[in-house]
A and B are shown apart, each in its own frame.
Chain A
Amino acid sequence: MTKQLMRGSHAIAEAATRAGCRFYAGYPITPQNELPEYMSVRFAQLEDATFVQAESELAAINMVMGASMAGVRAMTSSSSPGISLKQEGISYMAGMELPAVIVNIMRGGPGLGNIAPSQQDYLQATKGGGHGGYRTIVLAPCSGQELVTLTIKAFDLADAYRSPVILLGDGLMGQMMEPVIFPDPIDPAALPKKDWTLDGARGRDSRLIASLHLDPTEMEQFNWKLARKYAAICERETEHESYLLDDAVVAVVAFGTAARIAKGAVNRVRKAGLKAGLFRPITLWPFPGKELRDLTRTIKSLLVFEMNFGQMVEDVKLSVGEQARVHFHGRPGGIIPTPHDIGAAITKLIHRYGL
């Protein structure tokens, strides 16, 4: 297991391959083009892998849907505008309980926006995104190594819960070169057998994978089944990182790139003697709300920091209720904030409340 220096998008692509992903379809969009480019080269080396450059993100997500029906680990990637186009397919996959991994390397928006890093798709990713009231697991890496581990985890969770999983990064995560260590590749044939795939009705009854339930009672029952699955995910799968929180009077709450910057800011203000820490949700859905609420037993001031004008802050407020003051600092539109920027916000907060 040697360390190698690698660009974020390449790390995701290599990790996916090692996780046993054998189908990739995508459509070019900046800032994630390096991911499909790597995939096209990497999959060409494998006998059993398929790379398709699709004619649109719509086609790509539907190809992934088909590949998933056929039982293979499948992935697509895009950036914000392309992810919007994939929402119909993601909804269908939630409705058909099909596993897949969808990578969103977010950029500034709305609309065509720009190609700079942003976190403006938090709500879209965590609240369903498409129609029909489903949820997707959302993982938010903040380092090269975490891109690797969370990509692999994304495939495992997708299969375990038969659900689409979103890996939510941004342009900075995708471009940044960092040292990473990869685990040994998984042999896809060694993965647990799926007993629901479409592979020809040989020696068994024919199977159906569909999201149509014309009978409202049946539709309701299916929705309750989804609800139970989502409850189980919330129960078991939340993940977060706590950084210097034990003696902190202020906790910055941030994910992904913003958390990375916030960590630098926390280190900065600590040097000046200010007791700040960082709470970093790694799963954005399920949101680690209980863990955050527990934190408010000792910390009464939270500073939510996002590269948007306030999205995760809603989940933070919902989680802590009246137990803590929730402040917000945001930079929307693709501006990359500096540790100085967020450090100043922490300092101001501490002085304002005499913490």
Chain B
Amino acid sequence: MAKQVFTRPKALKDNIFHYCPGCGHSIIHRLLAEVIDELGIRDKTVGVPPAGCAVLAYNYIDVDMGEAPHGRAIAVATGIKRTRPDLIVFTYQGDGDIAAIGTAETIHAANRGERLSAIFVNNGVYGMTGGQMAPTTLLGQTTTTSPGGRLPLRDGFPLDLSQMLAVADGSVYIERTAVTSPKNIIKTKRAIKKAFQVQMDDLGFALVEILSQCPINWKLSPVDACKWVEEEVVKSYPLGVIKDTTQAQNRMDRMKRGKRAKT
């Protein structure tokens, strides 16, 4: 009898992705679903997708979902998590969402050590609205609103939000990964799992920044898009653990909430 080696995760609905061919969102969705399955938390997880290409994440990930206004996912998630600390709450945010319009919410949620797992999908553009420049767009990168390439004095510099969040005492785990190769995909899955685990262990704010391909707006083939991440994007956004204080016991004591809501 044949041994089954590959199957659809239970937390992934049987729907066809609407994402463009080669888009990183599809891979990340699957990883999320696998992690939710492996942690056995499908029935106590709530996802918060804001506007962005992945606003329809609820068509794929089979958990309770509450849509947020563009940029406000972490604030909405804060309201859910503070009300129901027994739930596992994650956000799924693009770079425009988390690093432009929602920067304030993100920094303060990290600083308060909100028990949330943020999935930050950095594709360097505003995918949903047609490929405009994002705060994360690389210098020299052409987008529909940075003709001739991003110029620092006109457009500012690429913003490394994850580094900024690492400065906040309430964040305990921040890692940057990519989904360009099997090796990177496995690392991404491990990082997502850890971000959920940090929340389940009640340690503080966790975020995984995932460098994600947007072949359609980058005007590259899916394969070239992966190559571009590995050769160019990582120069501005190096992969690896940016912060991990999950083992620092003293800090964790400071991070205890004065009062936990009853569940």
Q: Which residues of A65-105 are within 8 A (CB) of B?
A: 65-72, 74, 88-89, 92, 96
Which of B58-66, B167-175, B209-217, B218-226 binds A? B58-66
Asked if B76 is an interface residue, CB under 8 A from chain A, the answer is yes
B44 and chain A: residue at smallest CB distance:
A200
In Å, the complex CA distance between A27 and B226 comes to 43
Which residues of the partner chain B approach A71 to less than 8 Å between Cβ atoms?
83-84
Tell me which of B43, B66, B79 contacts A74 (CB under 8 A).
B79
Asked if A208 is an interface residue, CB under 8 A from chain B, the answer is yes
Asked if B39 is an interface residue, CB under 8 A from chain A, the answer is no
In Å, the complex CA distance between A65 and B261 comes to 18
Known contacts A66-B77, A69-B76; decide if A201 and B43 are in contact (CB<8 Å): yes
In Å, the complex CA distance between A22 and B83 comes to 8
Asked if A52 is an interface residue, CB under 8 A from chain B, the answer is yes
As a 0/1 sequence over residues 142 to 158 of chain A, the CB contacts with chain B under 8 angstroms (1 = contact) are 00000000000000000
Which residues of the partner chain B approach A199 to less than 8 Å between Cβ atoms?
46, 64, 84, 87
Which residues of the partner chain A approach B66 to less than 8 Å between Cβ atoms?
65-66, 69, 96, 198, 208-210
Q: Number of contact residues on B: which range applies? A: 35 or more
Asked if A346 is an interface residue, CB under 8 A from chain B, the answer is no
In Å, the complex CA distance between A202 and B41 comes to 10
- Give the shortest distance, in Å, between B177 (CB) and chain A (any CB): 26
In Å, the complex CA distance between A210 and B262 comes to 27
Which of A42-50, A300-308, A335-343 binds B? A42-50
Which residues of the partner chain A approach B80 to less than 8 Å between Cβ atoms?
66-67, 69-70, 198
Which residues of the partner chain B approach A206 to less than 8 Å between Cβ atoms?
58, 62-65
Q: Which residues of A191-206 are within 8 A (CB) of B?
A: 198-203, 206
Asked if A54 is an interface residue, CB under 8 A from chain B, the answer is yes
Which residues of the partner chain B approach A23 to less than 8 Å between Cβ atoms?
79, 82-83
In Å, the complex CA distance between A74 and B46 comes to 19
Q: Is the CB of A50 within 8 A of B42?
A: no
Tell me which of A60, A72, A212 contacts B83 (CB under 8 A).
A72
Which residues of the partner chain B approach A47 to less than 8 Å between Cβ atoms?
259, 261-262
- Give the shortest distance, in Å, between A291 (CB) and chain B (any CB): 37
- Give the shortest distance, in Å, between A247 (CB) and chain B (any CB): 52
Q: Which residues of A323-342 are within 8 A (CB) of B?
A: none
Q: Is the CB of A211 within 8 A of B79?
A: no
B41 and chain A: residue at smallest CB distance:
A200
Q: Is the CB of A209 within 8 A of B83?
A: no
Known contacts A55-B108, A56-B104, A200-B43; decide if A66 and B83 are in contact (CB<8 Å): yes
In Å, the complex CA distance between A200 and B80 comes to 11
Which residues of the partner chain A approach B69 to less than 8 Å between Cβ atoms?
62, 88-89, 92
Which residues of the partner chain A approach B62 to less than 8 Å between Cβ atoms?
201, 206
Give the total of A residues in contact with B, Cβ under 8 Å. Answer: 44
Known contacts A198-B46, A210-B58; decide if A54 and B67 are in contact (CB<8 Å): no
Q: Is the CB of A70 within 8 A of B87?
A: yes
In Å, the complex CA distance between A59 and B107 comes to 11
Which residues of the partner chain B approach A63 to less than 8 Å between Cβ atoms?
75-76, 78-79, 82
Q: Which residues of A95-125 are within 8 A (CB) of B?
A: 96
- Give the shortest distance, in Å, between A68 (CB) and chain B (any CB): 7
Tell me which of A64, A96, A209, A210 contacts B79 (CB under 8 A).
A64
Asked if A58 is an interface residue, CB under 8 A from chain B, the answer is yes
In Å, the complex CA distance between A95 and B56 comes to 16
In Å, the complex CA distance between A223 and B4 comes to 47
Asked if B55 is an interface residue, CB under 8 A from chain A, the answer is yes
Asked if A19 is an interface residue, CB under 8 A from chain B, the answer is no
Tell me which of A52, A198, A211 contacts B82 (CB under 8 A).
A52
B111 and chain A: residue at smallest CB distance:
A55
Q: Is the CB of B262 within 8 A of A48?
A: yes
- Give the shortest distance, in Å, between B241 (CB) and chain A (any CB): 27
B107 and chain A: residue at smallest CB distance:
A55
Q: Is the CB of B72 within 8 A of A203?
A: no
4 smallest A-B Cβ distances: which pairs?
A: A66-B79, A62-B75, A210-B67, A200-B44
Q: Which residues of B contact A (CB under 8 A)?
A: 42-46, 48, 55-56, 58, 62-69, 72, 75-84, 87, 104-105, 107-108, 112, 258-259, 261-262
Q: Would you list 25 pairs from A and B whose C-beta atoms are within 8 A, ordered by A residue?
A: A22-B261, A44-B258, A50-B83, A50-B261, A52-B82, A55-B105, A58-B105, A59-B75, A63-B76, A65-B75, A66-B78, A67-B82, A67-B83, A69-B80, A70-B46, A74-B79, A74-B83, A200-B63, A201-B42, A201-B62, A206-B63, A206-B65, A207-B64, A210-B66, A212-B55
